Structure 1
Amino acid sequence: MRKIIDDERLIYQCCSLYYEEHMGQSQIAKHLGISKSSVSRMLQTGRELEIVEIKVRHLAQYMYEDLEEELKKKYHLKDVVVAESSPLDSKTERISKLNERAADYLNRLLKDGDYVGVSVGSSIRNLAKTSHEAFHRNCTFVPLVGGISQHTTGMEEVQSNQVAEALAEKYGGNYVSFFSPAVFSNENLMNEFLKEEAVRFIFDYFEKLDIVISGMNIASSMYETVKKLGYVSDDQLDRFKKNGAVCNLILRFLDQNGNTEPFDEYNRKIAGISAEAYKNVEHKLLITGGAGNAAAVKSCIRGNFANILIMDVDCAKALLVD
């Protein structure tokens, strides 16, 4: 004898009422004059017979979950976000997508009372230019290096002070300024200058940081900003590269293992947060893109300068290559 739950017409009616009319199972049972358990079994049968097809629509920004998880496990990272991209995307389009994902991530990460350290450069400044809606919070944005340079024509807005101000305007809260040259010609001169009350207060803020954000230029020289700002000469840069430099972060040069010591003669003249203080911050975001930056990203990870990566798919895939 054929059971009621095998009646395909009734199964179709159950599925239609449940998925299209949004009726509850108790309502359907009463409407069709059958038990609630029969309704439940017929809904299951409807899926098995493909009368009902359930799909989860993956949004573009979530299409790289597996890649993100693989990178998190391989490098023991706190989080990884891979921005969607297409081989047909222009450089401008890739940067725009990367910045949108970074802006969205900050929306979720930032909370009231956070102290957020920001580095120098267009990669970070561009976050404030995105059209992505920002949720205002009572945060304090802190420049991580001095924000004064004599080489500023066309580069004013990427100075650390301007970056802090722009992000404070976008995400709410306030910012402090670090009125000091970023790079000094003499370490002793720098140390004396930083004793001045007008600038030494910034180091109190460094000890409060909950988040630090740094970036590298996408699909171009990672040294572009530091060169354009006049912080390093071509001769210096050539010498640093010969000595193993693969990265420049918070204006300091790092080797492939994330060590700053080989370049201390230069690095010690940087007015800003120390490498150790930077490493001690809980959330260390690095925003970058392009397969060519993979070695620099690895350097930052190995040196404990990054534990949250926001990057494009090219850089992400390159990081999986040993």
Structure 2
Amino acid sequence: MTEKNKDRFRLLVKICQLYYEEGLNQMEIAKRLGISRPHVSRMLTVAKNEGIVRISINNPFSAEQELEKSIIGAFGIQDALVVDSSETEPAGLPALLGRTGAALIESVLRDGDIVGVMAGHTIGCAAEETDYFARDGLQFVPLVGGWGSDGAAWHASTNAMAFANKLKSKYSMFHAPALVANEETGLLLRREPEIANVLELARSSRVAVVSIGEVSEGATMVKSGSFSGEDMTVLKKRGAVANLCASFLDERGQVIDFPGSSRLIGLTAQELRAIPTVIGIAGGAAKIMAITAALKGKWIDVLVTDSETARDVISMSSSIE
């Protein structure tokens, strides 16, 4: 090493020590050494390129982030958030996903947003885990009517109200069930001005926070009494594996034609797709097929799920062509 190169190397090391070890900013270093700030910036870049500085990030989330990359790559969605569930009992999964979802929602919402909210225990947990943060002009609106009287604490309207109360914002309510007895009633209810206005407001959402329902006897829509055994039989025969708002999907994520669809009160999957940012929060063994279908159909933009579910979804995606 020549003396000139040695002096240059010494200056590089000094700048790096001042910046990385002593915490001085680039302007402070420039003043201290009598050089320009752009020159300090260039020297820091050279130091990294020449291996004088090696930045190592102590990342405790590397395994989950690899799963996130795999989901994004497999399904082409905008983003995924995977949380470690290895030490979480199934009963604690909604709260775990709710906390992760709440943090994401805070980072996504902007002043003046209309936020569509779906029913579900996990969405309710996300509202419960949300701490107040300042946003002006937020408004929360339910995306579907109520799934029966049981589980009313997690109806879409209840969840919308819970988010709004936490964030001191406005909210709308759906004074209608998600499923009515016949087509005529469904048509009349959707024409009611109050219900029509809520539906129109929901369509205007910039962000939607949705659950992804499975098609099984354990689903909320069945437990609530909204769907009969006959309804479930028809859905399964038609290949339904997932419920998304007021639509049902097959294993490839395609919307299926369901005879009772005109009895449903809420946004369809196609209307949901028109919302710029759709966040799906779901996890657990029972929802693997449903989540995979929603991802394959590209109905959501961001997925929040747990590590065990993520692995199974990735595995299932390769088996469904």
Quote the offset at 1:130 in angstroms. 1.0
2:172 paired with 1:176: yes
2:157 paired with 1:161: yes
Structure 1 gaps of 5+ residues are: 31-35
Please give the TM-score of this superposition, normalised by the length of structure 1.
Answer: 0.78
Instruction: Name the CA shift for 1:131/1:171 in 2 (closer, same or farther; >3 Å).
Output: closer
Structure 2 gaps of 5+ residues are: none
Give the aligned partner of residue 212 of structure 1: 208
Quote the offset at 1:12 in angstroms. 8.4
The superposition leaves residues 90-142 of structure 1 with CA deviations (integer Å, 9 ceiling, x where unpaired) of 33554333222211111111111211111111121111111655444421111
Larger Rg: 1
Give the aligned partner of residue 239 of structure 2: 244
Instruction: Name the CA shift for 1:279/1:84 in 2 (closer, same or farther; >3 Å).
Output: closer
2:51 paired with 1:57: no
Distance 1:230 1:317 in 2: 32
Please say if residues 138 and 169 of structure 2, whose CA atoms lie closer than 8 Å, have aligned partners that are also in contact.
yes
Give the aligned partner of residue 83 of structure 1: 82
Please say if residues 136 and 170 of structure 1, whose CA atoms lie closer than 8 Å, have aligned partners that are also in contact.
no
The superposition leaves residues 15-63 of structure 1 with CA deviations (integer Å, 9 ceiling, x where unpaired) of 6655444455557758xxxxx99xx69x959x958xx764323254x76
Instruction: Name the CA shift for 1:227/1:134 in 2 (closer, same or farther; >3 Å).
Output: farther
Q: What letter matches 2:267 in structure 1?
A: I
**Deviates most, 4-13 or 161-170:** 4-13
Distance 1:14 1:284 in 2: 45
Give the aligned partner of residue 121 of structure 2: 122
Distance 1:191 1:11 in 2: 73
2:289 paired with 1:295: yes
2:273 paired with 1:274: no
Quote the offset at 1:156 in angstroms. 1.9
Distance 1:225 1:310 in 2: 19
Instruction: Name the CA shift for 1:191/1:55 in 2 (closer, same or farther; >3 Å).
Output: same
Distance 1:222 1:12 in 2: 66
The superposition leaves residues 68-87 of structure 1 with CA deviations (integer Å, 9 ceiling, x where unpaired) of 2332233221x223233152
Determine helix, strand or coil for the equivalent of 1:231.
coil
The superposition leaves residues 216-271 of structure 1 with CA deviations (integer Å, 9 ceiling, x where unpaired) of 479x9695211222111244324422431211222533211333334x21222111
Give the aligned partner of residue 197 of structure 1: 193
Distance 2:298 2:22 in 1: 54
Identity of aligned residues (%): 24
Distance 2:252 2:14 in 1: 64
Determine helix, strand or coil for the equivalent of 1:116.
strand
Give the aligned partner of residue 33 of structure 1: none
Give the aligned partner of residue 104 of structure 1: 103
What do you get for the CA RMSD once the two structures are aligned?
Answer: 3.7
Q: What letter matches 2:138 in structure 1?
A: C
Instruction: Name the CA shift for 1:29/1:95 in 2 (closer, same or farther; >3 Å).
Output: same
The superposition leaves residues 264-290 of structure 1 with CA deviations (integer Å, 9 ceiling, x where unpaired) of 212221111233322222212111113
Give the aligned partner of residue 258 of structure 1: 253
The superposition leaves residues 185-207 of structure 1 with CA deviations (integer Å, 9 ceiling, x where unpaired) of 10112212332233222232133
Give the aligned partner of residue 233 of structure 1: 228
Give the aligned partner of residue 72 of structure 1: 72
Instruction: Name the CA shift for 1:76/1:86 in 2 (closer, same or farther; >3 Å).
Output: closer
